[in-house]
Structure 1
Amino acid sequence: MASSSSPTQPSFNFVYQPDGSESGWVEARTHCDHLGSVSSDLTHIPIPNTPCNRCQHPSENWLCLCCKEVLCSRFVNKHMLEHFQQTNHCLALSYSDLSVWCFSCDAYLDAQVISSLRPVYETAYILKFGEAPPLRSEV
């Protein structure tokens, strides 16, 4: 197993498969200098199936954690990316997989570990699945 990381980039971990191919995952960061821009009320958020506020696309949408606007991903019409470029609101939660991305750090953040992000992660999980998220065991 090999890995690489830098202060501004996520850690990339690769597992080499028996056939010579590799699979990998990104290890989310546990700190971000931009957390001060998070909305003070992230327990009242739009439901996960809210369409993009600009194009009404029904899926692959993100929640801006600064202003709570719901916009589509860079794989649809890039409205959340444009929102970041226009407003500098850099933190967003994916309603698809509940991951949190910092556009300024260009990195995923661990919303289950970062105390200021955990409430929005838990709220989004409950809204999406109808139950509290399972406790993650620390390794």
Structure 2
Amino acid sequence: MADQAPNSSSSAALEFGIEGDEEFIHGAASGWVEARTSCDHLGSLSTDLLHIPTPDTPCNRCDHPSENWLCLCCKGVLCSRFVNKHMLQHYQQSNHSLALSFSDLSVWCFACDAYLDAQVISQLRPVHETAYILKFSEPPPFRTMEMQTIGENP
């Protein structure tokens, strides 16, 4: 038995220095991240997030056509850190910390260094819905309470 190979999740857990398989499977090493349901920076949101640029808007600085983010403070469209880092530079220069990805419609807070749950945070729901409609030409599906509690500890 001692020469038996560990299963793949055990091997990966050991490689990452994680003691329990469950922590590896459900933790940061798995690539799954739980979005925050609150943020102290929501006061900096633009007062008009119902009128936003379309998701195909290129970066305001380099005209890159994809991987762009919408600044939720000034409504500028800038490319991601994986392109030319213009949204990251914008945050560093202006302290506008909230942005919505036109790629997957996720919301990121640079100051919190975290994703925010745009369907749970009431101040973000309208801009998420507007962006979804602009991108897919239909309203977004809404999570039910049952779906929202999946993964929460009893």
What TM-score does the superposition give when structure 2 sets the normalisation length?
A: 0.78
Instruction: Give the C-alpha shift of residue 122 in structure 1.
Output: 0.1
Comparing both structures, which one devotes a greater share of its residues to strand? 1
Comparing both structures, which one devotes a greater share of its residues to helix? 2
Partner of 1:26: 33
Deviation string 1:3-53 (CA, Å, 9 cap, x unpaired) is 7xxxxxxxx9339xxxxxx63300000000000000010000000000000
Q: With CA pairs under 8 Å and 6+ residues apart, which has the higher RCO, 1 or 2?
A: 1
Deviation string 1:84-123 (CA, Å, 9 cap, x unpaired) is 0000000000000000000000000000000000000000
List structure 1 segments (4+ residues) > 4 angstroms apart after TM superposition: none
The alignment partner of 1:127 has SS state of helix
Q: Percent identity of the aligned residues?
A: 76
Partner of 1:2: 23
The alignment partner of 2:30 has SS state of strand
In structure 2, which of residues 69, 72, 87 is the aligned counterpart of residue 80 of structure 1? Answer: 87
The alignment partner of 2:82 has SS state of coil
Larger-gyration structure (1/2): 2
Unpaired stretches in structure 2, ≥5 consecutive residues: 1-21, 150-154
2:31 and 2:65 mapped to 1: Cα distance? Answer: 29
Taking only aligned residues, the RMSD between alpha carbons, in angstroms, comes to 1.6
1:117 and 1:13 mapped to 2: Cα distance? Answer: 26
Number of residue-to-residue matches in the alignment: 125
1:1-139 matches, within 5 Å, as 1-2=22-23, 13-14=26-27, 23-138=30-145, 139=149
1:37 and 1:68 mapped to 2: Cα distance? Answer: 12
Instruction: Give the C-alpha shift of residue 2 in structure 1.
Output: 1.8
What TM-score does the superposition give when structure 1 sets the normalisation length?
A: 0.86
